[in-house]
Structure 1
Amino acid sequence: MINLEADVVVIGSGPGGEGAAMQLAKQGKRVVVIERYEKIGGGCTHWGTIPSKALRFSIFRLTESLNNPLLIDCGVKAEPTIAQLTKTAADVSAKQESMRKTFYSRNNVEVISGHARFVDANTIQVEGGPTIKTTHVVIAVGARPYHPANVDFAHPRIFDSDSILSLDHKPKSMTIYGAGVIGCEYASMFRNLSIKINLINSRSGLLDFLDDEISDALSYHMRERGVVIRHNEQFDRIEAVEDGVITHLKSGKQVKTDCLLWAAGRTGNSNDLGLDTVGIEPDNRGYIPVNEKFQTSVENVYAVGDVIGFPSLASAAYTQGRSAGKQILGHATEKDQRIAKEIPAGIYTSPEISCIGKTERQLTEEKVPYEVGNSNFKYLAKAQIIGQSIGMLKLLFHRETLEVLGVHCFGPNASEIIHIGQAIMYQQGEANSLNYFLDSTFNYPTMAEAYRVAALNGYNRLF
């Protein structure tokens, strides 16, 4: 029995689902969103991006205050609990959820709570709810931390990147297994609380998708802060004992700390959706294969966000959702597909990292004649004023055309600064040129002035 009819059913209300739903609803399509959890917003809002970044900011603000010479002279001391620090995160998540509810209401998008399963490619059954007939489906169910079968995540000293936000005390030491984006972010965050950190990496370097110089800078500053980084290590087994957790490594090492944060890998939430009934086959990590239009192997079914894998960013998910919506509407252009692919990365370590475009390694492999322009933050007046002089901005540009090919930033406000470079890189032809930074007047003193300094530095290398 068909209870509802819709033009598009969107499964999941995180950034990817929201992006698709808003794009379609604003063009007059009848959209139904199905959300498995009681609250809308997905993992991004409730146990991922928003709460972790809110916690990071609380920790940053605390450490900045405690290191302020004026407050030190005044004898100000404080040691808030983890619960007090995470309270801000809960408040921000609640505000975000409330705001997103108004988006759906204002655009006449019906939101149904329940677990969705495919009956066929045009029919969705909500467990305990209606059956919906639809023309198109957008799957935006996100991902969850990967759980190896031989790790006891029910143990109170073993956490993953979701459950770590429920930590109710400050441990003296922590092992973080996995040095991807999540592992590096939490290593920086908890080290700023003076927790002893062992960061165990299965690869030879940190975040190897970054420009080599940025990756090296991250490693250097993490070690300088006291993080112990162990490269090229694989876990053999995890042993939880009464007073801690022992991580046994295949190299024979044993690392004992108060608790363990498992941050190695993610799994797409594609299970139990009835995908087998329509012939969609996720890979061994639960990720759904899609083409450049975000279509699955079934023409009218799309998938976006973390459930399709890399880059697994909230910003990318939203853009992918909008792009899928435009594909369904028949409005998509080559520019839309390009924008959906060229996503800036924002990594909230201490200091921040953000980048867009090609790395030096990639340009060298492609035999592109490029040049480099650098701006070290320690020479910027604004960085000196705010007392955050660690960092740099790197511009990579074509030696002959001056086209900007990559922007890489390490330091305070990197995730904000990157968007100036992004705006220029999105321009076509001569508008994408190092000349923009050479000829523009930047407010002084600002962190954005780094673009002018880097451009001049690079331009001088041409002669």
Structure 2
Amino acid sequence: MTTDHVVVIGGGPGGYEAALVAAQLGAAVTVVDSDGLGGSAVLTDCVPSKTLIATAEVMTEVAGASELGVALTSSGGDPATSLRVDLARVNDRVRRLAAEQSADIARRLERDGVRVIRGRGRLVAPDRIEVTDADGARQVLEADAVLLATGASPRTLPTAQPDGERILTWEQVYDLSEAPEHLIVVGSGVTGAEFASAYLALGIEVTLVSSRDRVLPGEDADASAVLEDVAVRKGMNVLSRSRMESVVRDGDTVTVTLTDGRTVTGSHCILALGSVPNTSDLGLEEAGVEVDEGGFIAVDKVSRTSARGVYAAGDCTGVLMLASVAGMQGRIAMWHFLGDAVTPLDLKKVSSNVFTAPEIATVGWSQQAVDAGEIEAESVLLPLAGNPRAKMQGVSDGFVKLFCRPSTGIVVGGVVVGPRASELIHPVAIAVGESLSVDQLAQVFTVYPSVSGSVAEAARRLHRV
């Protein structure tokens, strides 16, 4: 019996999750990695940013402690007048946790018999990969299947070039040793909103430059309205319908010029302008792998590319730039190639979260799709302000929203806005994934008092008579 050989190019979630599945199913697996196991998700994106945000969450909770009857005092017993964050220590912890997580992945791959080669891989044919190491030495690997999981990088513009000190991409913020005096965040998508919210909570003056009429234009409109209201109330300066023309640095000052001629001056600027796929110099054209106009690798729902035996997963496909989706794409690819049971990727069952304050979690069909007539659904929005547990915790902003089919009551989507929304979305995701009805969701016991009780209450309000 011949053992299949799988070569994975890229060690991020799409790559290492695929490698683990392939090894589990008996394949000989080689991972070619150039940037560090875990990829940007672990080293420069998800793990670092959410670690930073965890510190911001503590600051938010402490700032609201007085409402719960907690008084902060100095060592002399006098009332504390301010909170301060040591950004150098925060970033040291961020980098340490990222490195530890990368090392954990390396140990797991080694334990499961996956070979890891440090170097850059490119296709010379659908079944042949050339690997070049840091010294320029080359070797060619032959494979029965190849998975491309090369990720994406921060998008920049000729008029807005990062210098790694004052003008930063989201990968460079963890090198800051001192807190910015005034941070300008350009871009109000998920990345921009998360960093703006986090640094605001850390006590830093923040201006958010948004080219759209609202923050988080791709998210639920009710949810983004809550977030923007909270952010402005806490002191964020949000410039809506303001498109960036250029960003320049002069010493310790950064100036953002808008297309209408206005300027915004601060000490630092984060560019959150989207991502570009890492697909150049991969030998894609020679191997017959098709890409779209943006350079993203075209894949079907089982992660196949246009070249036989070549799969792709993660941000380089542009399908949905989430670590969870990358991992699932990689697993699906290996299940498919190695003949295991596989279900094609269904984006309507993907839950996602924006780690702002408050958090915004979503799954399934959206309000925008319902309003556009893409699906017929009924909905209910239940504010958290009426939830007893939320009242105890001093939470007044946020809501639970559910969507269900009018005829059957099947839950087809949901939105949760509030603290730890990333945890609260899970019962809704189960309902969507398993096609449960609102009555089935409502009839499951919840703890009293609990914020999750609002999920059951929203389901009860959609009861089919």
Normalising by structure 2, we get a TM-score of 0.92
Give distance in 1, aligned partners of 2:376 and 2:288: 46
Indicate the SS of the match to 1:232: coil
Q: Which amino acid aligns with 1:443?
A: V
Q: Does 1:91 align with 2:96?
A: yes
CA change 1:17–1:367 in 2 (3 A) is closer
Q: Which amino acid aligns with 1:323?
A: I
CA change 1:440–1:314 in 2 (3 A) is same
Unaligned stretches of 5+ in structure 1? Answer: none
Aligned to 1:81: 86
Aligned to 1:353: 360
Unaligned stretches of 5+ in structure 2? Answer: none
Aligned to 1:121: 126
Give distance in 1, aligned partners of 2:100 and 2:251: 39
Give distance in 2, aligned partners of 1:367 and 1:131: 48
Aligned to 1:178: 187
Give the CA deviation at 1:341. 5.5
Q: Does 1:438 align with 2:417?
A: no
Which of 394, 416, 419 is residue 423 of structure 2 equivalent to? 416
Give distance in 2, aligned partners of 1:341 and 1:122: 33
Which of 397, 403, 422 is residue 396 of structure 1 equivalent to? 403
- Preserved contact between residue 123 and residue 284 of structure 2 (Cα < 8 Å): yes
Give distance in 2, aligned partners of 1:438 and 1:13: 42
Aligned to 2:248: 239
How does 1:94-243 map onto structure 2 within 5 Å? 94-127=99-132, 128-154=137-163, 156-243=165-252
Q: Which amino acid aligns with 1:440?
A: V
Give the CA deviation at 1:17. 0.6
Indicate the SS of the match to 1:362: helix
Give the CA deviation at 1:51. 0.8
CA change 1:380–1:110 in 2 (3 A) is same
- Preserved contact between residue 320 and residue 340 of structure 1 (Cα < 8 Å): no
Give the CA deviation at 1:66. 4.6
Number of paired residues? 451
Give the CA deviation at 1:340. 5.6
- Preserved contact between residue 59 and residue 193 of structure 1 (Cα < 8 Å): yes
Aligned to 2:51: 54
Aligned to 2:8: 10
Indicate the SS of the match to 2:344: helix
CA change 1:174–1:208 in 2 (3 A) is same
Question: CA offsets per residue over residues 129-163 of structure 1, 9 Å max, x none?
Answer: 53210011101111110121232312621001101
- Preserved contact between residue 152 and residue 278 of structure 2 (Cα < 8 Å): yes
Give the CA deviation at 1:365. 2.4
Give distance in 2, aligned partners of 1:310 and 1:292: 10
Give the CA deviation at 1:68. 2.4
How does 1:242-253 map onto structure 2 within 5 Å? 242-253=251-262
Q: Does 1:305 align with 2:303?
A: no
Give the CA deviation at 1:425. 1.2
- Preserved contact between residue 197 and residue 231 of structure 2 (Cα < 8 Å): yes
Give the CA deviation at 1:352. 0.5
* Mean Cα deviation higher: 67-76 or 144-153: 67-76
Give distance in 1, aligned partners of 2:164 and 2:173: 12
- Preserved contact between residue 266 and residue 285 of structure 1 (Cα < 8 Å): no
Q: Which amino acid aligns with 1:13?
A: G
Q: Which amino acid aligns with 2:430?
A: A
Question: CA offsets per residue over residues 428-461 of structure 1, 9 Å max, x none?
Answer: 4xxx1001232121111222111122122333xx
Give distance in 1, aligned partners of 2:112 and 2:231: 45
- Preserved contact between residue 357 and residue 406 of structure 1 (Cα < 8 Å): yes
Indicate the SS of the match to 2:441: helix
Aligned to 2:273: 264
Give the CA deviation at 1:339. 4.1
Give distance in 2, aligned partners of 1:318 and 1:211: 25
**Percent same amino acid among aligned pairs?**
28
Q: Which amino acid aligns with 1:51?
A: P
- Preserved contact between residue 246 and residue 257 of structure 2 (Cα < 8 Å): yes
Give distance in 2, aligned partners of 1:145 and 1:170: 22
Indicate the SS of the match to 1:374: strand
Give distance in 2, aligned partners of 1:264 and 1:274: 27
Give distance in 1, aligned partners of 2:256 and 2:319: 28
Which of 18, 21, 27 is residue 19 of structure 2 equivalent to? 21
CA RMSD of aligned residues (A): 2.0
Give the CA deviation at 1:243. 3.3
Which of 457, 460, 463 is residue 456 of structure 1 equivalent to? 460
CA change 1:292–1:21 in 2 (3 A) is same
Indicate the SS of the match to 2:143: strand
Give the CA deviation at 1:241. 1.4
CA change 1:327–1:231 in 2 (3 A) is same
Give distance in 1, aligned partners of 2:280 and 2:163: 21
Aligned to 2:33: 35
Indicate the SS of the match to 2:168: strand
CA change 1:217–1:62 in 2 (3 A) is closer
Give distance in 1, aligned partners of 2:184 and 2:225: 21
